[in-house]
Chains A and B, each alone.
Chain A
Amino acid sequence: MIYDVALNIRYDYTGAAAGGRHLLRITPLDVPKRQRLIAALIDIHPQPSERRNWIDFFGNPTVEFAFRDAHDHVGVALKARIERLEGETQQGLFSNLGDMKSLIEQSRDLGPFSPLHFTAPSARVPALPEIADYAAQVRQGLPDRVSCEQVVAAIGDALHRDIRFDAKATTVDTPMAEAFEKRHGVCQDMSHIMIAALRSLGIPAGYVSGFLRTIPPAGKPRLEGADAMHAWICAWCGPDAGWMDFDPTNNCFAGLDHIEVARGRDYTDVSPVKGILRVAGRQTSRQAVDVIPVTG
């Protein structure tokens, strides 16, 4: 499946910003056998006085840019074409939950995909006893000998049942604990809660940001720019199965509709725009996403 993706982000400041430095993590990933990046172009205005690209620790393409002069807005536009591939099926190779501790301990890998980075609490996913208790209850409902994939699916089912999707209930800064306590949130909250649940059971889990193809209701036209960036989780299911992506918002394993942009321990590692501004007034932001299938 080939997609054209367009992302437009704009920040407006009520008072002029004296200068600023930002990081972008919005370029779709190129992952062998799963996702091919055909082309990507990022346009930034006003023209930044500095701009550099690099790959971060987790393998995400990162753009750093800075403004020296006063400016009252920042606009970022991404246009990309990618091909999403089926990947391999991993049936039968998932490790058992009971073996995870020793499997992780055997790892001597500190590379970006090592499960070891994804076991400990992280900035946006602290260890929360309430979530650990919740996950333990789900675990109790499963057979003693259970594969990681079954655990991931069971946690996904439980969250889908218990956490209400509400696009207005939380913001990008809402702490995970608050979203869990109120049992509502958006894809970011769902993903953080699921990561915390899996880690508490001993399954290494991380955060994936990306785009989701949305299918308009039958007979209705696709609305341009109606979508936002999406987020889901990845879980390490043992050395043979490796990483599996699961979308807690839609309660499904990630597939051909999911376009990957960045991976990390939680939102902090992958936030699409991270910036430090010297600005006096308030700021407002807008984001618009289009995901258009080019071929079936």
Chain B
Amino acid sequence: MFDNYRPLQGVPDELCDASGRMRPGWAGLINHLSRLGPDEITHDFARGDQYLTDAGVFFRSYGDTTLSGRDWPFSPVPIILPDGEWSSIAAGLIQRAELLEQVVADLYGPNTLVSGGHLPAALIAQNPEWLRPMVGVKPHSGHFLHFVAFEIGRGPDGRWWVLSDRTDAPSGAGFALENRVAAARVFPELFRKTNVHRLAGFFRAFREGLDHLRRDPAARIGILTPGPLTDTYYEQAYIARYLGLNLLAGEDMTVQDGRLQIRTVQGLVPVEVLWRRMDSGWTDPLELASQSQIGTPGLVSAIRQGQVTMVNALGAGVLETQALMAFLPKISKFLTGERLALPNVATWWCGQDAELAHVRANANRMMIGPALSNRMPFETSAAHAVAGQMRGADGQSLDNWLTANAAQLVGQELVTLSTTPVFDNGELVPRPMTIRVFLARTPSGWQVMPGGFGRIGAGQDATAIAMRSGGSVADVWVVSDKPVDPVSMLSSSDAPFQRAQSGPLPSRAADNFFWLGRYVERSEGILRLVRAYHSRLDEAATEPLLALIRDLLATMGTDAAQALPNGLQATLTSAVNSASQIRDRFSVDGWAALKDVEKSMNRIALTARPGTDAALVMSVLLRKIAGFSGLVHENMYRAAGWQFLTIGRSLERAAMMAELLAAATGSDAPEGALDLAIEIGDSIMIHRQRYAVTTTRSTVVDMLALDPQNPRSIRFHLMSIRHRVEDLAIARPHAQLSDFERQVLELDTRVAVHSVETLDTGALTALRGDILALSTALHDAHLH
């Protein structure tokens, strides 16, 4: 396999050195691949994709406003680097992180770099990432930077370069973890035999570092998320679960007396440390971007009062400015007396005459773009030039464009990247790559994740711009010739075991659990009604009975005549949307099961025909949705989230049953309505056992409304809600009955004292209204 590998001319390659020999670390992988037949390779590689699909890994492309994602392109062949080389990369990046900490502290403090002439004042004063409300605010932790990332690549001379600095809210650490798991699935034995440095130790150190940043041990640590519509939401939910952190949106929190608090179903709970995945400017609409709908008003004030530590400090994004790279090498010598061990991309700010002349003369070897951007020129939507070619400047010539906008532009050397092998059409082919490396500040200093998030370009073009249009991602293996420590996330401490308390449930998450429960239950109810309708179509059932089902479905926005009604699809989509908001609190299997129902439904929608066919299809979907409910109720931890999910489910089921019975047990109900009710209530067997052959209004009302043992009855679900409410009250201090609790108690008691005679159509209709009113009362009590 190696013999057929052909690196590109004049481009360094990770697998193959300049003389054509295999680089250290790769032999195990290449031997392993060479021993496999094409089918085995396909089979093994599929395990990686299967894992990512099962885990629900998706990333959303920019501008996509739906909640569904597309599959994640994963290249199973890892990028391999020996740990000797890695430690020099790590040392260089730690030096850079230390330097950036000094620079940002100066920019928000004494500003000696600007006043001393080491940095042009305009680059800071006009920089949208330099946040004036944060000037003079010293971080409570003593540091601005706690978690940073660097994009690195290997240049033509074999040395590593820093391509960009990610200091504001770097993403990708969770993806790196997922890639690792996927790669280990593809190469299980090889991974065990190869001495690959593990990632868990890095995350444990980072997690423990976060713990050290809070003063009040009862205060929480959270990840601040912009919400499910951001492209890396999945990753945020994943890493929140992995590290045991609360995933918090801006609206989950409020500021009181200078302290940041989480609104939870049990009242306010303080939070002192936020690992921020939201860009600085959006975090507080009161003092930062006032149009932000995703921030927390008063957050900046709480930071100013030293009550919150931000990872990283608000405004740290100023360090990502492309033009800063032009000055960092000299700033390093000025501040520390040292050269940068890892150079960054050679950069010239065109706001200076000599630099402008240089960029102009060498434009064909450069990329030129916005000076204040935090992205490389070709990654921006603004006008830029690559290798002398103008893009998006309205026909202006490069020369005129440079002259007119000099101070706003920066020129950067058009770097060439090294290539790494990817598997394509049965062979290994070279593709350009970069690695995003992550650093975390711990009490004992910066730690570097041994590995990273590898990005691989789509084509053969080895210039950095190849990364622009997609490509794939890969795991990065840092390998040793000696055995490595098998670390895990479990703490090594010898302290006696203590059962951890489950974290407080933010009100917004509780709301999503509640609605997830309702939507799933409603989907099931619709499925049963649609099945009943279509199975009767071919049996030539009486029109009045069909009309009854049609009316019931119409109240749920569903048209019975469709083989797969739109109303059903919309309800299930709502369930998936609710679930996607609480991915961090949801088991991977539960999510997979729910997505599976949605997928089946979308497939079936294309082919289902009215009548028996539709009825059969509904049975398939019912079994799948039962699979989801089963997973939830068998496996979900009985914390507050489960309580709200269950309340939602019981409320919906009780309300739907009340409506069904009101329609089916009235004196004017059509023939067959009672049997329909028993079928929808999934109680045919038990009814037959208990009442032999006769189906009467009394047997039906007793079984489906009043019987406390039947999991389809109204009473059963009111009791279920009552028990969940009691569990919640225990978890709440100063338990006083809320209006919601009072209404639940009252309603359950009222149904308990009903008889089959008194529970007539009018009483059932009223009951349905009272059950639905619980939803509002619950919201007022717990979910705002």
The interface of chain A, by Cβ under 8 A from chain B, is 18-19, 21-23, 49-50, 52, 54, 56-58, 64, 66, 68, 104-105, 107-110, 114, 116-117, 119-120, 123, 268, 274-276
Besides the contacts A116-B121, A117-B125, what 18 more A-B pairs have beta carbons closer than 8 Å? A18-B784, A23-B287, A50-B258, A52-B301, A56-B132, A56-B133, A57-B132, A64-B301, A105-B351, A107-B121, A108-B114, A108-B121, A110-B115, A114-B125, A116-B126, A117-B132, A119-B126, A276-B285
List the 10 closest pairs (A to B, CB-CB), nearest first. A116-B125, A276-B297, A57-B132, A120-B126, A21-B297, A108-B115, A21-B298, A110-B111, A116-B121, A108-B121
Contact of B254 among A19, A54, A119, A120 (CB under 8 A): A19
A120 touches B135 (CB 8 A): no
Please tell me if B494 contacts chain A, counting CB pairs below 8 Å.
Answer: no
Please tell me if B561 contacts chain A, counting CB pairs below 8 Å.
Answer: no
Chain A residues whose CB sits within 8 angstroms of the CB of B132 once the complex forms? 56-58, 117
Please tell me if B286 contacts chain A, counting CB pairs below 8 Å.
Answer: yes
Task: Determine which residue in B115, B255, B297, B298 has the highest number of CB atoms from chain A within 10 A of its CB, and name it.
Answer: B297
- Give A86 to B406 CA distance when docked, in angstroms: 42
CB distance from B701 to the nearest CB of A (A): 41
Known A52-B301, A57-B133, A274-B286: A120·B255 in contact at CB below 8 Å: no
Chain A residues whose CB sits within 8 angstroms of the CB of B133 once the complex forms? 56-57
CB distance from B575 to the nearest CB of A (A): 27
CB distance from B318 to the nearest CB of A (A): 12
Please tell me if B256 contacts chain A, counting CB pairs below 8 Å.
Answer: yes
Contact of A23 among B116, B126, B256, B286 (CB under 8 A): B286
A105 touches B122 (CB 8 A): yes
Chain A residues whose CB sits within 8 angstroms of the CB of B124 once the complex forms? 110
CB distance from B533 to the nearest CB of A (A): 40
Interface digits, B106-136 against A, CB 8 Å rule (1 contact, 0 not)?
A: 0000010011110011101110000011010
Please tell me if B290 contacts chain A, counting CB pairs below 8 Å.
Answer: yes
- Give A136 to B135 CA distance when docked, in angstroms: 35
- Give A54 to B133 CA distance when docked, in angstroms: 11
Task: Determine which residue in B115, B117, B125, B301 has the highest number of CB atoms from chain A within 10 A of its CB, and name it.
Answer: B125
- Give A58 to B287 CA distance when docked, in angstroms: 13
Chain B residues whose CB sits within 8 angstroms of the CB of A109 once the complex forms? 114-115, 121
Please tell me if B304 contacts chain A, counting CB pairs below 8 Å.
Answer: yes
B135 touches A57 (CB 8 A): yes
B290 touches A110 (CB 8 A): no
Chain B residues whose CB sits within 8 angstroms of the CB of A22 once the complex forms? 286
Residue in chain A with minimal CB distance to B126? A120
CB distance from A103 to the nearest CB of B (A): 12
A114 touches B126 (CB 8 A): no
Please tell me if B257 contacts chain A, counting CB pairs below 8 Å.
Answer: yes
Chain B residues whose CB sits within 8 angstroms of the CB of A276 once the complex forms? 285-286, 297
- Give A108 to B135 CA distance when docked, in angstroms: 16
- Give A170 to B126 CA distance when docked, in angstroms: 29
- Give A135 to B258 CA distance when docked, in angstroms: 46
- Give A59 to B117 CA distance when docked, in angstroms: 25
Chain A residues whose CB sits within 8 angstroms of the CB of B286 once the complex forms? 21-23, 274-276
Chain A residues whose CB sits within 8 angstroms of the CB of B120 once the complex forms? 105
A110 touches B257 (CB 8 A): no
Contact of B121 among A56, A114, A268 (CB under 8 A): A114
- Give A69 to B256 CA distance when docked, in angstroms: 12
- Give A23 to B298 CA distance when docked, in angstroms: 10
Chain A residues whose CB sits within 8 angstroms of the CB of B298 once the complex forms? 21, 64, 66
Residue in chain A with minimal CB distance to B111? A110
Task: Determine which residue in B117, B124, B132 has the highest number of CB atoms from chain A within 10 A of its CB, and name it.
Answer: B132
For chain B residues 38-73, which have a beta carbon within 8 Å of chain A? none
* 29 A-B contacts (beta carbon < 8 Å): A19-B254, A21-B255, A21-B286, A21-B298, A23-B286, A50-B256, A56-B132, A56-B133, A58-B132, A64-B298, A64-B301, A66-B255, A66-B298, A104-B122, A105-B120, A105-B351, A108-B115, A108-B117, A108-B121, A109-B114, A110-B111, A110-B115, A110-B121, A116-B122, A116-B126, A119-B126, A274-B290, A276-B285, A276-B286
Interface of B is mostly: loop
Interface digits, B416-456 against A, CB 8 Å rule (1 contact, 0 not)?
A: 00000000000000000000000000000000000000000
- Give A107 to B298 CA distance when docked, in angstroms: 34
B304 touches A54 (CB 8 A): yes
A110 touches B304 (CB 8 A): no
A110 touches B114 (CB 8 A): yes
Chain A residues whose CB sits within 8 angstroms of the CB of B125 once the complex forms? 110, 114, 116-117, 119-120
Chain A residues whose CB sits within 8 angstroms of the CB of B290 once the complex forms? 123, 268, 274
CB distance from B259 to the nearest CB of A (A): 11
Residue in chain B with minimal CB distance to A54? B304
Chain B residues whose CB sits within 8 angstroms of the CB of A57 once the complex forms? 132-133, 135
Residue in chain A with minimal CB distance to B115? A108
Chain B residues whose CB sits within 8 angstroms of the CB of A104 once the complex forms? 122
- Give A109 to B121 CA distance when docked, in angstroms: 7
For chain B residues 442-493, which have a beta carbon within 8 Å of chain A? none
CB distance from B508 to the nearest CB of A (A): 14
Chain A residues whose CB sits within 8 angstroms of the CB of B784 once the complex forms? 18
CB distance from B367 to the nearest CB of A (A): 24
- Give A79 to B124 CA distance when docked, in angstroms: 38
- Give A123 to B124 CA distance when docked, in angstroms: 17
- Give A22 to B254 CA distance when docked, in angstroms: 14
Residue in chain A with minimal CB distance to B256? A68
- Give A80 to B285 CA distance when docked, in angstroms: 29
Residue in chain B with minimal CB distance to A121? B126
CB distance from A188 to the nearest CB of B (A): 16
Task: Determine which residue in A110, A117, A276 has the highest number of CB atoms from chain B within 10 A of its CB, and name it.
Answer: A110
Residue in chain B with minimal CB distance to A58? B132
Chain B residues whose CB sits within 8 angstroms of the CB of A66 once the complex forms? 255-256, 298
CB distance from B111 to the nearest CB of A (A): 5
For chain B residues 657-690, which have a beta carbon within 8 Å of chain A? none
Residue in chain A with minimal CB distance to B372? A120
Residue in chain B with minimal CB distance to A68? B256
CB distance from A51 to the nearest CB of B (A): 11
Chain B residues whose CB sits within 8 angstroms of the CB of A54 once the complex forms? 304
CB distance from B290 to the nearest CB of A (A): 7
Chain A residues whose CB sits within 8 angstroms of the CB of B255 once the complex forms? 21, 66
Residue in chain A with minimal CB distance to B116? A108
CB distance from B24 to the nearest CB of A (A): 49
Chain B residues whose CB sits within 8 angstroms of the CB of A268 once the complex forms? 290
For chain B residues 225-279, which have a beta carbon within 8 Å of chain A? 254-258
A50 touches B257 (CB 8 A): yes
Residue in chain B with minimal CB distance to A62? B287
Residue in chain A with minimal CB distance to B305? A52
CB distance from B393 to the nearest CB of A (A): 15
- Give A229 to B132 CA distance when docked, in angstroms: 25
Chain A residues whose CB sits within 8 angstroms of the CB of B114 once the complex forms? 108-110
- Give A66 to B122 CA distance when docked, in angstroms: 36
- Give A22 to B298 CA distance when docked, in angstroms: 9
Residue in chain A with minimal CB distance to B251? A278
CB distance from A123 to the nearest CB of B (A): 8
- Give A57 to B120 CA distance when docked, in angstroms: 20
CB distance from A100 to the nearest CB of B (A): 13
Chain A residues whose CB sits within 8 angstroms of the CB of B254 once the complex forms? 19
CB distance from A30 to the nearest CB of B (A): 19
Chain A residues whose CB sits within 8 angstroms of the CB of B351 once the complex forms? 105
Chain A residues whose CB sits within 8 angstroms of the CB of B135 once the complex forms? 57
CB distance from A164 to the nearest CB of B (A): 29
Chain B residues whose CB sits within 8 angstroms of the CB of A119 once the complex forms? 122, 125-126
Task: Determine which residue in B111, B257, B286, B351 has the highest number of CB atoms from chain A within 10 A of its CB, and name it.
Answer: B286
CB distance from A225 to the nearest CB of B (A): 28
Residue in chain A with minimal CB distance to B123? A116
Chain B residues whose CB sits within 8 angstroms of the CB of A56 once the complex forms? 132-133
Chain B residues whose CB sits within 8 angstroms of the CB of A114 once the complex forms? 121, 125
- Give A58 to B117 CA distance when docked, in angstroms: 23
Chain B residues whose CB sits within 8 angstroms of the CB of A275 once the complex forms? 286
Chain A residues whose CB sits within 8 angstroms of the CB of B122 once the complex forms? 104-105, 116, 119
Residue in chain B with minimal CB distance to A265? B132
- Give A64 to B126 CA distance when docked, in angstroms: 27
- Give A286 to B121 CA distance when docked, in angstroms: 42
